[in-house]
Chains A and B, each alone.
Chain A
Amino acid sequence: MTWTLIAEQALNGLQFGVMLFLMAAGLTLIFGVMGLINLAHGSLYMVGAFACAAVAAATGSWWLGVAASLVFAAAAGAVVELAVIRRLYKRDHLDQVLATFALILVFSEGTRWLFGSFPLYLSVPQGLSGAVTLPGGIQYPLFRLFIIGVGLALAAGLMIFIARTRVGARIRAGQSDREMISALGVNIDRLYTLVFALGAALAGLAGALVASLQSVQVGMGEPVLILAFVVIIIGGLGSIPGAFVGALIVGLSDTLGRSMLPALFAQFMEPSSATAVGSSLSSMLIYIVMACVLVVRPTGLFGAKH
């Protein structure tokens, strides 16, 4: 395995990581501010992907598709918050798990009803197709670099938004003491809807960006949702920087593990069993990483200590 291949896989891991961050940021914000565990977050990712693929196919413009994914995911998020999620804040986690599990069924089957069971495909937009040569002679797809750039910019923007703006201050206040901030005259209901719609828009954007790399189909959101859970467990619930670090750890270890572990085992095992052991182990790697983090820090890397 040459080092250019390793560098390429590291970039793929980074791209996967920033995409996971877009998912995990919304999840962790929603948990941090409202104390809600939202299984339907993967459905909002799916809504974003379908909206992007459908609108891009209808208008011929990928950029309009991305805009549509933001609008549709945020709108779906706001509607779900107003109709269902709002009633769950005071319930225990069991009810939240169950209600959002029911929402997944409704979203998935509803999408299948509208779009059918066949996957949709979306090509990379014209200006972003092709490969660029990076320093060191690595040929790398421009579109993946674009995703990395967008993800990093949004991560920075989100951290500044939470740390520096008035709305961000309210979100942080909501995280630490929700009764106090509603007593101080902040419209807490509107803040909750806003946070939920913001998280939904980020998830929808992640779905739209990934739509050009893989097929768009019902059920695409749940594997990513579970990875996003792993991310926020590693990073610590409610922490945006934690979600960022966790997303990079998960993205890099998963991608590098898949490409390198089988080759590593082939050094001292026969090829067929090396592939079997390597691929089995690499599919479990991020969970092993998660377990190790929790042994050292039960509330995650950036989580508050009990």
Chain B
Amino acid sequence: MRSRDGNRSLTRTICSVVFLSSFALLDAKEFLISYRYVVKDATLYNEELHISNSMQKCIGKPQKSLILTSYKNNDLKEIVQRNEQKFIDFIHKLGLSVEHKEKTTNYINTSTTILTLKTTCFKVDFNDNLARITPLK
């Protein structure tokens, strides 16, 4: 395709589009997230959620994503803290490994259940007021 002023303006527009899209891509970050909680005798005993920046590029297919309100903030930890219940429910849907042990000694019962999300890479796109969190598997 040839523009009216020659090829120069066309290449300029293509370059600008590539430049802007690269900026948009730069806004996507990858995080490693793990989650684990322990329930002892039907009472929550310990809960851990670890979020850290990925040092390496993640490999995997993007799964169903979750959109959270970011309140114009690019800190994932804060965003997750503000939308904690939504994020925890999302993690549950992804799948947790269940480890349960129960011991009954002389008719006295004790039990421990551990639910774990093994360290998973998440791609996070920060937009103006939203953060799209997509797990990569």
Query: Do A and B belong to a common assembly?
Result: no
Measured CB to CB, the residues of B under 8 A from A are none
Measured CB to CB, the residues of A under 8 A from B are none
